[in-house]
């Protein structure tokens, strides 16, 4: 293929990718033109469903005064929709091959700042909204990074379905765990809808879910921080009654005598309930008492 052909195809592509609903064939064409083979190790699955993009855009309610952060911009498909509506888009992408595509696809937008780097190593800028189809493999650290020190009003994020289920799980279910309790301490989480894995190309191994996160915008209390530490031990024995992992924590982790540990336990409620059944507030109640006893 000669140079002229490529140039022609590219300019045609960038117009089409915005107006046409056939995002799948355009995505494949773009990958081919730039000779890019998607990397599983970077969770590279690119959005090809116009309906999913519309839902994400509607949920984000973006206005021209908004600064929007996008994590893992990929081929810039969602980025273009964001840039049409926002005052400014800050898009982070780690893969230098995709940076080339992004510079090309987004060349007509002067309101997009591209940042080449690893989202887990970058200090997030202060923005109004975070809107992203996330790299699924690092959902957990990204989510903790976002909600522990929130620098945005709300986020609209696509996760793998089972990760989203864990974020909003009810006590007693198999999805309920430390992530659920942490999310409820830091944020309010709404699972908006599930979507097929075929909204992405190449499709990830499982279906996905769109989630809206409203951070609580307050720093955690000492009790809450202590609870996060404690939960690591408690959920490693999620099916046991609270008494057993708690005693283990006091004796083995805090090096207390058995006698002192038993005295502490005598002040604690829910000892006969199974770890997996305690609500976030009940955990907090337990953490408060244990922490006070340890001081």
Task: State the residues that interact with ligand SAH by CB under 6 A.
Answer: 42-47, 72-75, 77-78, 92-95, 98, 118-120, 132-133, 135, 138
Least distance (Å) from ligand SAH to the CB of residue 13?
15
- H/E stretch holding 182 reads helix 178-186
What span, in angstroms and rounded, lies between the C-alpha atoms of 81 and 105?
12
Helices (H) then strands (E): counts for the chain: 12, 9
Residue 117 or 269 with smaller CB distance to ligand SAH: 117
Least distance (Å) from ligand SAH to the CB of residue 39?
7
What's phi and psi for 234, nearest 5 deg? -65, -45
Residue 136 or 270 with smaller CB distance to ligand SAH: 136
Least distance (Å) from ligand SAH to the CB of residue 113?
14
Least distance (Å) from ligand SAH to the CB of residue 93?
5
110 Cβ contact list (under 8 Å, min separation 6):
none
Sign of CA dihedral 221, 226, 228, 231: negative
Residue 192 or 247 with smaller CB distance to ligand SAH: 192
Least distance (Å) from ligand SAH to the CB of residue 149?
18
State which residue has the least CB distance to ligand SAH. 72
Q: Record the tokens describing residue 100, joined without a space.
A: 């080339």
What span, in angstroms and rounded, lies between the C-alpha atoms of 164 and 136?
11
Residue 144 or 233 with smaller CB distance to ligand SAH: 144
Residue 119 or 234 with smaller CB distance to ligand SAH: 119
DSSP states along 1-51: --HHHHHHHHHHHHHHHHH-S-HHHHHHHHHHHTT-PPPGGGT--EE--HH
Least distance (Å) from ligand SAH to the CB of residue 98?
5
What's phi and psi for 189, nearest 5 deg? -120, 130
Residue 10 or 42 with smaller CB distance to ligand SAH: 42
């Amino acid at each position: 293929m000669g140079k002229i052909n490529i140039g022609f195809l590219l300019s045609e592509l960038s117009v089409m990718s915005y107006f046409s609903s056939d995002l799948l064939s355009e995505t494949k064409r773009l990958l081919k033109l730039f000779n890019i083979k998607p990397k599983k190790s970077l969770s590279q699955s690119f959005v090809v469903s116009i309906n999913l993009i519309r839902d994400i855009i509607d949920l984000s309610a973006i206005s021209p005064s908004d600064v929007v952060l996008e994590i893992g911009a990929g081929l810039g498909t969602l980025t273009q929709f964001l840039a049409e509506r926002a005052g400014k888009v800050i898009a982070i992408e780690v893969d230098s091959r995709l940076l080339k595509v992004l510079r090309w696809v987004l060349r007509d937008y002067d309101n997009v700042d591209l940042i080449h780097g690893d989202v887990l190593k970058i200090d997030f800028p202060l923005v109004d909204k975070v809107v992203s189809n996330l790299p699924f493999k690092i959902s957990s650290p990204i989510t903790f990074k976002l909600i522990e020190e929130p620098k945005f009003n709300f986020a609209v994020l696509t996760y793998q379905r089972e990760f989203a289920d864990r974020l909003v799980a009810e006590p007693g279910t198999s999805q309920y765990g430390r992530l659920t309790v942490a999310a409820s301490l830091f944020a309010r989480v709404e699972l908006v809808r599930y979507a097929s894995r075929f909204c992405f190309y190449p499709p990830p191994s499982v279906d996905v879910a769109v989630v809206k996160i409203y951070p609580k915008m307050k720093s955690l209390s000492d009790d809450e921080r202590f609870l996060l530490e404690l939960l690591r031990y408690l959920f490693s024995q999620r099916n046991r009654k609270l008494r057993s992992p708690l005693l283990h924590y006091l004796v083995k982790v805090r090096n207390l005598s058995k006698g002192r540990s038993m005295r502490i336990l005598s002040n604690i409620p829910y000892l006969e309930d199974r770890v997996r059944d305690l609500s976030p507030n009940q955990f907090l109640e337990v953490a408060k008492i244990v922490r006070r006893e340890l001081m």
